[in-house]
Amino acid sequence: MTSSPLRVGVAGAAGKVGRAICDGVEAADDLVLGGRADPALDTPLESILGDVDVVVDFTRPDVALGNAIACVEAGVHVVIGTTGFDVEQLRERRGPGNAFVAPNFAIGAVLMMRFATEASRLMAKAEIIELHHDAKLDAPSGTAKRTAELMEGDVPIHSVRLPGLVAHQEVILGDVGQTLTIRHDSTDRTSFVPGVLLACRRVADQGAPLVVGLEALLFNDVA
């Protein structure tokens, strides 16, 4: 017997990332786009919760937490790509739905973070430069903060916001007579789609009410 496709709703569906996620869901054989929520579409999140199994949230920091709570309390799983809000507040919420949060869904970015974490154990010092489009609301980025948390030592972060950028990060490590630079570039928002779809497929069985970081799915590092 063939299982029913997973029904996915997208909050922030009218945004640039949201549109890319909608296209990715529609192109997947095992997923169905169950709803698009966005003030620009005059469609509140609550209006699609009864039609979906999981919601993907790429909205704003001031609404992401409320959206997540509404989802888990309604028994709908939520995959959150919005950054700039206190993720720890989700640990205090209880509901039948699970929450998965990642500061970056690009698989290459997660590998960059992994390599930087390993390198920081062997190099003396490191600093992070993160560069994003000028409409990004939070600084430093969630990716940079997560990278610094995973690395050894005190790692300063420098933020750049300019038109023409999408999402980029350099980790520069230094030691006696040498430097090591690890860089990742997202040149298009479609880079986030494979990671988001992976999280949608796994969030129901992730083993904890809240999981943070795509590395939890790629390397079984549950945090």
Q: In what order do the strands lie in the sheet with 6-11?
A: 31-37, 6-11, 54-57, 77-80, 99-101, 210-212
Do 97 and 115 share a domain, yes or no? no
Burial group, residue 62, by CB count within 10 angstroms (0-12, 13-18, 19+): exposed
How do 167-175 and 54-57 pair as beta strands? unpaired
* Alpha-carbon torsion, ordered 26, 30, 34, 37, to 10 deg: -60
Q: Same domain for 30 and 88?
A: yes
Consecutive H or E run containing 178: strand 178-186
Based on the domain organization, do 194 and 137 belong to the same domain?
no
Name the active-site residue from 16, 125, 133, 136.
136
User: Looking at 77, 132, 168, 184, which residue is catalytic?
Assistant: 132
Question: Is 133 designated active site?
Answer: no
Is 125 considered catalytic here?
Answer: no
Torsion of CA 46, 13, 101, 137, to 10 degrees: -110
Residues 117 and 36 in one domain: no
Do residue 197 and residue 183 come from a single domain?
no
Q: Does some domain include residue 223? A: no
> Domain total for the chain?
2
Q: What is the pLDDT along the chain (223 residues), one digit of tens a residue?
A: 457 899 999 999 999 999 999 999 999 999 999 999 999 999 999 999 999 999 999 999 999 999 999 999 999 999 999 988 888 888 877 789 999 999 999 999 999 999 999 999 999 999 999 999 999 888 999 899 999 999 999 999 999 999 999 999 999 999 999 999 999 999 999 999 999 999 999 999 998 999 999 999 998 754 4
Q: Is 28 contained in some domain?
A: yes
Whole domain around residue 56: which residue ranges?
6-101+190-218
Structure tokens at 132: 């994003």
Residue 161 domain-assigned (yes or no): yes
Task: Tell me the two tokens of residue 79.
Answer: 């995959």
Q: How far apart are CA 181 and CA 171, in angstroms?
A: 6
Whether 1 is in a domain gets the answer: no
Domain CATH number, residue 141 = 3.30.360.10
Taking the model in full, what pTM does it have? 0.88
- Domain co-membership, 113 together with 176: yes
Domain co-membership, 13 together with 81: yes
Are 183 and 134 part of one and the same domain?
A: yes
